[in-house]
Each structure stands twice: as structure tokens, then as C-alpha cells.
Chain A
Amino acid sequence: MIRKQDMRRLDAMRWEIPTSYREDMLVPVQIFASEQLLEEALGDKSLQQAINAATLPGLAGPVLVMPDVHQGYGFPIGGVAATTYPSGIISPGAIGYDINCGVRLLSSRIRADEVEKRLSDLATALDSNCPSGVGVSGSVHLNVKELEKICREGSGWALKNGFARKQDLLRTEENGCIAGAQPSAVSARAKQRGRTQLGTLGAGNHFIEVDLVEQVFHPDAADAMGLKEGALAVQIHCGSRGFGHQICSDYVREFQTAVKRYGIRLPDRELVCAPLDSPEGKRYLAAMACAANFAFCNRQVLAHHARRAFEQTLAGHVADWDLTQVYDIAHNMGKIEEHEIGGKPTRVCVHRKGATRAFGPGFKGLPDEYQPFGQPVLIPGSMGTASWVLLGTEGSMALSYGSTCHGAGRVMSRRQAKREIWGEDLRQKLEEDGIRIRAGSLPGLAEEAPQAYKDVDQVIDVVTKAGIASKVARLTPLVVIKG
């Protein structure tokens, strides 16, 4: 097991595991962490998994580990790796089964104190408008032809079909549509799973939250985003549902034989990969784009349903019940980007698994109003605790392939959480704290208890001190809808 003395400290918030630690490492592992968060990361196998990832062929620079890291399967959650494009590899498992799992934030002009008595009704309306839970179908059933349109158009499909506004798309990563999607690269099984799941939240750690904008740290950026202290905001956290899960499963299985064809040896079968310029690699990229576009569209349809729930509950009671898109960003994705590595602009495929793109000011893909500030970064905390709105920085471009953390990060196993926390007790405690909960499964609720996660404020402290993000606002939950 890796120990702290096996690392060298790069600066106050960065640590490095050199390639000399294990002979099959091709690049170092760099960890963004405080002393305390590093100790927590040493408590599970997450750093061992990062070391395994450092053996992937074609890496252009160090494997990075964010302060919210925790043990995943193959690649750690909170890991970032950049492979040279197109000669390097792409690894579906290093992106994750929930392709384009991500977060959308909507702002409002509704003051929380104006609607406090209506929050319980709002929770009920959100719960009934936004289907959640295991095996639940959405209100939009698609035939295969329509599903394939979503694969190609992403949120553009939602705009054409009355589920979106133009500004929603402008304020979404890649305008809600990744180029290069090819539905022919997606299996019939994935399409069968995806047809009934548009506009559904799913289960697990996915949620819709109504938050209070508790504190603003960057008034100009918050103003551009429509975030006002004391007002409500809405977060939507979910991904590509069974459609994306099936696509990843299909390609992890297919790549088991591809690695043998390409002579790639790996310490863990979950890390299987193929060269980006190989037929297998190109098909995975085309299929991954389909799942990513489905996920953008899914969060867009859920945002439409959230707007309807706000209208149903608050129309006539407040002057303006509308929700305005702040941003929508993925935290499980592979993206072809250009970064300066070793002093040279280099085209790479950045694998972010439980890590968020965090591009700095002046990035061309941002809407005009965000250009001076940088890309909004949305960091959901654990249930019942704070969430954060951050900005990408020049530091994230220089140090972390334009990436930062994605959440609080788990510290307690799901088994331990189920053993130690009783779902009904937790719900009562959260309700006593003023948080209205609607949850499909009480055991599921227990697994997502706040005490199973790291302190998100500590994670934010690390990324801001390390310079790979800056603070805009802190949000605290008032309503939580969980699958």
C-alpha cells in the first residue's frame, strides 16, 4: 500500500508519487490535497488505482487526483488523465459507466423567505414532475428514430421539441451537443434501455435540489449568473441513465479482446483501452458522444419539468417564478482538447472521471457574459450539506488540464453507511434541519448520508488554494428529491 513517505510534496496543496514508486508507471501521479484529505485518500485504494492508471499507454503527462478522490473501479473517482491524440488510448472505464454524469444549475429571483411555507408543496411538485428511482420511465417515450436524433443533436433536440430555450443551450458545455456522435456505434440493447428514460433522474447519488444562495464571494460573476444572496437556485445531478451504462458496458467488454490485439498489458481489466485512432477507439468515441448528448438532453428535459413544478407551485404567489440556466457541466467524460504540456500546445484526450472541466477566462466556448470570469464549475455537496459554484482559472489550465474537483467524495463504504445509519432517522434529522426530503428508497437515502462523505468545504479550500478554481457562491439545501 502507498504511504505518505512514498510521495514528495510539490507545494502546500500538491503531492507527487514519482514513477520510481512502481516500475510499470509511465508517468507520475499528482494529488491535489491538504494533509487531512491526503490521509483520507490513503484510507482506501484510490491512490493505488491512480498508480494503475499511470500505466496506461500514451499518457501525455501526469495522472491527476482531485481532493474529493475516492476508490472507484479501475480508475479512481476524482481522477484525470490526458492521453496524446490520436496516438494515445481511450479507456471507457476511465470515463465511467454513467457517461456525462453532470450537474445543471438554474438561478431564480425568488427570495427563499417569501416562499418558505410553500417549499413542501414545491418538493412534492418536483417529485411528481421529475420521475426518479430504479427502473422508472419518463414522460417522453421515444422511438428509435427520435432517440437517434437525440444522439446527434443533444439539447438541440430539446430546443426543437419545446423543452428548452436558446439561452439554456448557450449556457451548457459544448452547447449541449458533442460533435462526432454516430448512433450506428450504439447497440440495440442500449437503444432499448434509452427509449423510455429521457427526463428521468435515476437513483443512487442523483438528485434535484432547491438551494438557498447562502453567500456570494464574487459579486460580478454571481450577477452574470443571476445568483443573488437569499434567492432560490435549483441543481439537477444525473447522467445518461441506462443508455450510457449499456454503451460503456458494451465497449468495456469489446475492449477486453482489443487490448490483446494491440498488445496492451494492464494491471486491472477495468482499465481496458484502445488507441484513439483505431477502429475500436473511434467507434467508442462516436458512441460516447451519443451518450453524452443523451445526458445533456436528459438534464434539459428535467429542467423543463422543474420549471413546470415551480410554475404549478409558485405562480400567483411570487412576482417571478422563472428559472434561468446558469450552466450545465459534465464530470464523467472524455474530451479532445488542447493543453500546454511540457511547454508545448498538445492535443490530448482528457479523461475526467469524477472531475469537472474548469476552463479559465477568455475560453471561446463560453457565452459572452461569462468570458471575463471563466467557465462556471458546479460542485454538489453531499445530501444536506453545502454545494458550491466556482470558476475555472488560469491555474486550472496550467496545472490540471483545465480540470477541478466534482463533489465532496465518499469516505464511508456503502455497507458501513447502511449498517450505521437508519434511513428514516436520517430523513427525520434532515427535516428537523429544515430540509424537505422526497426519497424513493430509505436504504438508498442512508447510503448517501452526509457522514458518508468528506467535508465539501475542505475540498473547495484545496482547489481554491491550489489555484485550480475560484469561489463564486455557496449554496445550502432546502429541498432534496432523490431516487
Chain B
Amino acid sequence: MVNDTVEEIEHTADWAIRVRASDLQSLFELAAEGMVNLIGQAENGASSITRPITLQAADLETLLVSWLEELLFILETENLILKRSTVQLLSEVQLLATIELQLAPELWKEIKAVTYHNLDVQQTTAGYEVSIVFDV
């Protein structure tokens, strides 16, 4: 077992995070949390809404990119930011999630895209690890 962690790592022009988790579900949930922490925060005390998400992709990395892109799309088009998520991976290419969203009144920075730059979900002795670079 590892402590599930997400940390910002150095990148000259863009933003990058490293996520470590004991299982893939937690890796996806933490990646979303790490991305949201970079761009803003939900309004304290604001009411939240919950909705399901289903995604399918060609491979595990693409599923991860699609998951994070989905959250960015909701943020940009509905001004709703992720508060909490519960991810269930049906396989390495299919995801079911429940996301809790809140109004995003205070955004710090725009993420233009989730990139595939050196994106590789690696299995370690203690779980899984991935580094994600965001274009800002």
C-alpha cells in the first residue's frame, strides 16, 4: 500500500502534477482533485449537484485524459467545479463516475488542455503512478 498523493511538479511553461495511488480508481479521483486545486475552488457552503458520468476510451491513458477533459468542459460551459468524485473503472477503457459539483465563483487560472506529454500510467510495486502535464 502507498499513501495516495498528488503533488505539483516543476514545468517551465505549463502545469504538471504527479499522482500516486494504491489503485486505479483512486488515481483517477486524485488526478481530478489535483487538477481542480490548480485552477480554483468551489464556493464554501454553496449547494452542490451530483451527476453520473460514463466514459469509454481506446486505452487507459486516453480514459484518464477524457475524464479530466470532461471536468474542464463542465467547468467552462456550466461554471461548475468538481467538489468530490467517486470513480469506478469497469475496465481499463471504461469508467463510471459520480461527480459532485459546485458553482466556481473564484477561478485562478485557465487550463487549456490535458496533454499526452510522456503520459504513461505505470504500475509500481505499491500501486500506480502517473505524471500529467496541462497546457495553460
Contacts and interface: CB of A to CB of B under 8 A. Distances in A.
Interface of A: 44, 46, 70-74, 77, 93, 96-98, 133-135, 189, 192-193, 202-204, 242, 245-246, 248-249, 252-253, 256-257, 268-270, 272, 410-416, 441, 443-444, 447, 483
B115 interface: yes
A248 B61 CA distance: 17
Contacts of A443: 108-109
B8 A415 contact: yes
14 contacts: A93-B115, A135-B79, A193-B77, A203-B109, A203-B110, A204-B110, A204-B112, A245-B113, A248-B113, A249-B114, A412-B12, A413-B11, A414-B11, A441-B109
Given A256-B58, A414-B136, A134 B110 contact: yes
A162 to B, nearest CB: 28
A270 B58 contact: no
Given A242-B76, A441-B107, A447-B109, A74 B11 contact: no
Contacts of A98: 112, 135
Interface stretch (B25-33, B65-73, B87-95): B65-73
Contacts of B58: 256-257
Contacts of B10: 413, 415-416
Contacts of A441: 107-109
B5 to A, nearest CB: 16
A33 to B, nearest CB: 16
Interface residues on B, range: 35 or more
Interface of B: 8-15, 39-40, 57-59, 61-62, 65-66, 69, 73, 75-77, 79, 104, 107-110, 112-119, 133, 135-136
B36 to A, nearest CB: 13
Contact of B73 (A97, A189, A204, A253): A189
Nearest to A257: B58
Contacts of A447: 109
B30 to A, nearest CB: 18
Contacts of B79: 135
Nearest to B58: A257
Nearest to B79: A135
A174 B21 CA distance: 49
A257 B115 CA distance: 16
A269 B76 CA distance: 26
